[in-house]
Amino acid sequence: MELADLLVAIHRCLGGISTRSLIYALADVYARAQLGDVDGNKVLEILAQNLAGYLRLSPSEAKRVIEAALSCTPSAEGGYTTAATAAVGREEAPTLAHLVNRYVPVDATPRVKLEVIKRLSLPRDAVEESKANIVARGAGLLHVKSAVRSIRQYTPYSPPSDVDLIKTAVSVARKAALGRPISDGDLYIREYTHVIDKPIYVALDVSGSMKEYLGPSTKLRVAKNAVARYLRQVAQLRGSVSLVLFNVGADFMWTPHPVHRYLGDMLEILRYIYAMGGTELASALELLHNHGVVNDVVVITDGRTSDVEKVLDLAKRFRRLHVIATEKNPFLKQIAKITGGRYRELAPTLDILELHS
């Protein structure tokens, strides 16, 4: 049976399954075909991985439903329920990070990695951003330090804490020695440059389930938009960010690099990130822990895992593991709580930097 005929049969037999879900499943099949041989059984596995979330089944159960749909016979499975490990899947597929790191060292700059991506001729996705404010100097849980950029004369409503005591004292003493009155012009204020002095790590779920829709956009697109806003904010704070991509496996899309220096490259790379394969949250936590990362990690995921106990054990090794769930998930909320981090649910207006405040 041709692939198009297979999709038509699935749509008819399963009673109006989302056309958009079928289109994304078809795109995934073609993308995987470009990466290696894809036989009939592999096509069914890829379709099952993509439709598992919509059907609220595990990939193996979804595959049986699809096979039944070929002859429009009822599935042996009755009503379906979901659990913490639902729709996990062990379908291995290379993330964009895995592909790029085949050609360059894992710690290559985002600029070098972007050049590799362009040579791979991968499709680009749109990344939309909305404005977000920067937190005040010294606020939040990030390691923020403030470097003095310049010293200027006082203006009304300048914070008293920003008065430069030495220059002000010299100016006041000179006026007193000359017998002249002291004015606001004798007060001097420090202007600061905000600096994050420790790297931040973001782990982004790029499994097939991230192609599910959250309103008018896929979960992955909403997440990438949020990461793009976050990068612009951290660039103003002169911080460094590392991005990890994970599905069943995990790898660094880029290691910590100063965002203000590579912002354009990082934003462009986001456009090429795609969703594919099964989900295993433990892979991301294990990669980060093995590289000595324990603080200020942001994880964006649906939280699906085949080993809940392993994830909990890994999570306990982190401090401030902030979790952004793509769907309501008590398990992820528990992970954030036990590490002293914060839990949020993915939304188009999400401000990731707020997690640190």
List, in sequence order, the alpha helices (H) in 257-296.
259-272, 281-290
Give residue-wise pLDDT tens across range 197-225: 789 999 999 998 898 888 899 999 999 99
Give residue-wise pLDDT tens across range 258-293: 999 999 999 999 999 999 888 899 999 999 999 999
pLDDT: is 287 or 307 the higher one? 287
Q: What whole-number distance in Å separates Cα of residue 281 and Cα of residue 250? A: 9
Q: What whole-number distance in Å separates Cα of residue 340 and Cα of residue 356? A: 11
Question: Which candidate, 191, 299, 317, 169, places its Cα nearest to that of 246?
Answer: 299
DSSP designation for 326: S
Token duo for residue 186: 């004798």
Where is average pLDDT lowest: 6-15, 31-40, 125-134? 125-134
Average pLDDT over residues 63-78: 61
Instruction: Work out the pLDDT band at 135, boundaries 50, 70, 90.
Output: very low
Q: Which distant-in-sequence residues (6+ apart) come within 8 Å of 309 by Cβ?
A: none
What pLDDT sits at residue 326? 94
pLDDT: is 145 or 228 the higher one? 228
- CB 229 within 8 Å of CB 351: yes
User: CATH for 96-137+197-356?
Assistant: 3.40.50.410
What pLDDT sits at residue 62? 78
Q: What whole-number distance in Å separates Cα of residue 295 and Cα of residue 9? A: 49
What percent of the chain is modeled with pLDDT above 90? Answer: 42
Give residue-wise pLDDT tens across range 137-177: 444 445 554 556 678 888 876 777 778 888 889 988 998 89
Neighbours of 210 (CB within 10 A): 28
What pLDDT sits at residue 78? 39
Which long-range contacts (C-beta less than 8 Å, at least 24 apart) are formed by 24-33?
A: 24/50, 24/211, 24/218, 25/50, 25/51, 28/208, 28/211, 28/276, 29/3, 31/274, 31/276, 32/93, 32/276
Residue boundaries of the structural domains of the chain: 3-69, 96-137+197-356, 145-195
Q: What whole-number distance in Å separates Cα of residue 40 and Cα of residue 175? A: 89
